[in-house]
């Protein structure tokens, strides 16, 4: 893998098993597609940011792949954050695409509104969706990436047949509801089993982890098979959030390069 990340133009393109190609030509020039090892995307969670300064806090992590937006309704989880109007404003205030993680009941009803609000990826919890296949199709049809989340006690196995309907699967590595909790190591086997299912079916499905992801846990997640990493306190609690994003990405990419799941591409 090259030691310096090349300058990207037009965003990355993902191949099978997380390989990443980037276009290095500027403007409308054709440019060249350059292979950039295994993808590791870092999504800072604004749950740990200052909610009175969201636009500035988004700018503080420019260079992040996505901005992770935690929507909580005080019913599905015992905490309350923000909703559609804030997502609409944030989408206008930043060029970083929004990764909306809905920790809300009645996801079937609300998730499509977050696509309309400007989210590039919308994650619903399977525990809160009455018809996850219909909902994933609706999110995709409206133009966003469709993603499904599993709480720690929810197994992946019953959902194997649904995976082709999704662009990303989120494995919670804490009980959802709050930032700053300790990473649950007991989720690592579920991450490994999910990566095996993705490989078995040859899917281009991103595997996201969320909760307690930091410099001391990200390598374990990457080695187990995650390729999208949400980090709240580890990014916004750092003196230089943008540097924290770069450091986490480097750690994750190096751990991925060592991982057996990524060796056979
Ligand atoms: C928790 C949220 C997370 C949270 C992670 O329910 O879904 O996105 O912001 O925060 P950290 O990285 O501090 O555990
Ligand atoms: Zn989240």
Per-residue pLDDT of the chain in tens (265 residues, 90 and over written 9): 344 555 554 445 544 444 555 545 554 454 555 554 568 999 999 999 999 999 999 999 999 999 999 999 999 999 999 999 999 999 999 999 999 999 999 999 999 999 999 999 999 999 999 999 999 999 999 999 999 999 999 999 999 999 999 999 999 999 999 999 999 999 999 999 999 999 999 999 999 999 999 999 999 999 999 999 999 999 999 999 999 999 999 999 999 999 989 875 5
pTM reported for the whole predicted model: 0.89
The finding on whether 44 has its CB within 6 A of some atom of ligand 1 is no
**CA proximity to 63, closest of 246, 208, 240:** 246
CA gap 174, 60 in Å, rounded? 25
Domains in the chain with CATH codes:
1-38 (no CATH), 40-262 (3.20.20.70)
Of the candidates 57, 30, 79, the one whose C-alpha atom is nearest the C-alpha of residue 242 is: 57
Ligand 1 centre from 173 Cα, in Å? 9
Res 7: pLDDT:
54
User: In whole angstroms, what is the distance from residue 258 CA to residue 1 CA?
Assistant: 12
Rounded to 5°, the CA angle 209-40-181 comes to 30
Cα–Cα distance for residue pair 121/132, rounded to 1 Å: 15
pLDDT on residue 192: 98
Which pLDDT value is given to residue 13? 52
Distance 101 CA to ligand 2 centre (A): 5
- Residue-level pLDDT at 39: 81
pLDDT score for 17: 40
- Which atom of ligand 1 has the smallest separation from the CA of 235? 12
47 Cβ closer than 6 Å to some ligand 1 atom = yes
Question: pLDDT value at position 131?
Answer: 98
For 193, residues 6+ apart whose C-beta sits below 8 A from its C-beta are 156, 157
């Amino acid at each position: 893998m090259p030691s310096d990340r090349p300058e990207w133009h037009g965003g990355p393109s993902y191949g099978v098993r997380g390989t990443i190609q980037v276009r290095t030509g500027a403007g409308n020039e054709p440019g060249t597609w350059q292979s950039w090892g295994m993808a590791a995307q870092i999504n800072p969670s604004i749950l740990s940011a200052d909610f009175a300064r969201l636009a500035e806090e988004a700018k503080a992590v420019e260079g992040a792949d996505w901005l992770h937006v935690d929507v909580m309704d005080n019913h599905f989880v015992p905490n309350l954050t923000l909703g559609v109007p804030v997502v609409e404003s944030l989408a206008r205030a930043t060029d970083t695409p929004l990764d909306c993680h809905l920790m809300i009941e009645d996801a079937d009803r609300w998730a499509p509104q977050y696509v309309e609000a400007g989210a590039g990826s919308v994650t619903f919890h399977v525990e809160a969706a009455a018809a996850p296949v219909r909902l994933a199709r609706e999110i995709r049809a409206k133009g966003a990436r469709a993603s499904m989340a599993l709480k720690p006690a929810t197994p992946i196995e019953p959902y194997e047949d649904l995976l082709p309907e999704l662009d990303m699967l989120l494995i919670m590595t804490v009980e959802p509801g709050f930032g700053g909790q300790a990473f649950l190591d007991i989720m690592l086997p579920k991450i490994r089993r999910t990566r095996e299912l993705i490989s078995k079916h040859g899917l281009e499905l991103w595997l996201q982890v969320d909760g307690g992801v930091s410099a001391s846990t990200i390598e374990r997640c990457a080695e187990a098979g995650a390729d999208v990493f949400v980090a709240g306190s580890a990014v916004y609690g750092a003196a230089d959030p943008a540097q924290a994003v770069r450091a986490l990405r480097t750690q994750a990419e190096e751990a991925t390069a060592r991982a057996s799941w990524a060796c056979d591409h």
